[in-house]
């Protein structure tokens, strides 16, 4: 299927978690990741830093949530090869440990995986990867009181800044859990924040709750290549709607 590239508002932020072959809901095989980067390069899609994705029509920004060690192993070398910028959102209290934070469901659906230690985060930061904040302990932020919320944001931001030696300007909400109060708190610490609502960016996208496209739903080559085509935009709209419907939110936020 073919179609004209999307002219306006076709920019998007991609979300990856883990690059591994388990087939889990947070996993993309490393080989597939390489093919996706090859396709972005071959089709000359503008892959830009997260902070610039809204300014560039048809651009793509690449983000990785949780800071898995396999980013260091499988993503960093490929990104470097193609000269693509990316942002990794890390959970500061768990760096060097595993993704076994208290809110992680104990199901085989999400494998327990190693997270990058600070030494690896320092290396990728030096190589040009941006390090963003994904809280200290990966909680549902809307369930915290105001003091706990502030602590999660402030402590994790300063830990990352101290250990990595660079300013942290970007944030991702664990589980996309971003109420008005949570967004307001994030706005005091960060220039922009990413959510999990599945959509392309538009002129009126909220800088403190930017929609993203979870690559798990774009695993097939057909849908990934749809990123630059109207049929892809239609798929994302339908998929985003289904997700909202499943979360029971569509009725509250039509
Ligand atoms: Zn996460």
Tens-place pLDDT, residues 140-192: 999 999 999 999 999 999 999 999 999 999 999 999 999 999 999 999 999 99
Give the pLDDT band (50/70/90) at residue 245. low
Percent of the chain with pLDDT strictly greater than 90? 72
CA of 93 to the centre of ligand 1 (A): 13
Give the pLDDT band (50/70/90) at residue 247. low
CA of 2 to the centre of ligand 1 (A): 35
**Residue 20 reports pLDDT greater than 90:** yes
CA of 173 to the centre of ligand 1 (A): 7
**pLDDT value at position 116?**
98
Give the pLDDT band (50/70/90) at residue 203. confident
**pLDDT value at position 246?**
54
pTM of the model: 0.90
CA of 63 to the centre of ligand 1 (A): 11
CA of 145 to the centre of ligand 1 (A): 20
Contact between 170 and 132 under an 8 Å Cβ cutoff? The reply is yes
Residues 153, 187: Cα–Cα separation, whole Å = 10
CA of 114 to the centre of ligand 1 (A): 13
Residues 22, 11: Cα–Cα separation, whole Å = 30
**pLDDT value at position 248?**
47
Structure tokens, 217 = 């739903």
Residues 49, 83: Cα–Cα separation, whole Å = 11
19-28, 216-225, 234-243: which range is least confident on average?
Answer: 234-243
State the average pLDDT over residues 216-224: 81
CA of 138 to the centre of ligand 1 (A): 6
CA of 137 to the centre of ligand 1 (A): 10
Cα of first residue to Cα of last residue in the chain, in angstroms, is: 31
CA of 42 to the centre of ligand 1 (A): 30
């Amino acid at each position: 299927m073919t179609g004209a590239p999307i002219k306006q508002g076709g920019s998007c932020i991609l979300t990856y978690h883990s690059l591994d072959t388990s087939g889990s809901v947070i996993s993309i095989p490393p080989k597939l990741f390489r093919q996706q980067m090859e396709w972005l390069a071959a089709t000359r899609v503008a892959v830009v830093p997260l902070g610039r994705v809204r300014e560039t029509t048809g651009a793509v920004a690449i983000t990785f949530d949780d800071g898995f060690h396999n980013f260091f192993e499988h993503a960093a070398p490929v990104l470097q090869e193609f000269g693509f910028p990316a942002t990794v959102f890390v959970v500061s209290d768990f760096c060097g440990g595993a993704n076994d934070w208290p809110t992680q469901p104990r199901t085989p659906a999400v494998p327990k995986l190693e997270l990058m230690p600070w030494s690896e985060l320092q290396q990728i930061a030096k190589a040009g990867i941006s390090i963003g904040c994904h809280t200290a302990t990966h909680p549902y932020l809307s369930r915290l009181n105001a003091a706990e919320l502030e602590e999660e944001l402030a402590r994790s931001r300063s830990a990352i800044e101290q250990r990595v030696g660079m300013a942290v300007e970007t944030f991702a909400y664990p589980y996309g859990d971003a109420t008005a109060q949570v967004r307001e708190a994030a706005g005091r610490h960060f220039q922009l924040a990413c959510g999990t609502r599945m959509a392309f960016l538009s002129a009126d996208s909220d800088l403190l709750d930017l929609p993203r496209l979870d690559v798990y739903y774009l695993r097939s080559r057909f849908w990934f290549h749809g990123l630059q085509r109207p049929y892809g935009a239609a798929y994302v709209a339908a998929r985003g709607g289904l997700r909202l419907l499943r979360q029971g939110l569509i009725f509250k936020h039509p």
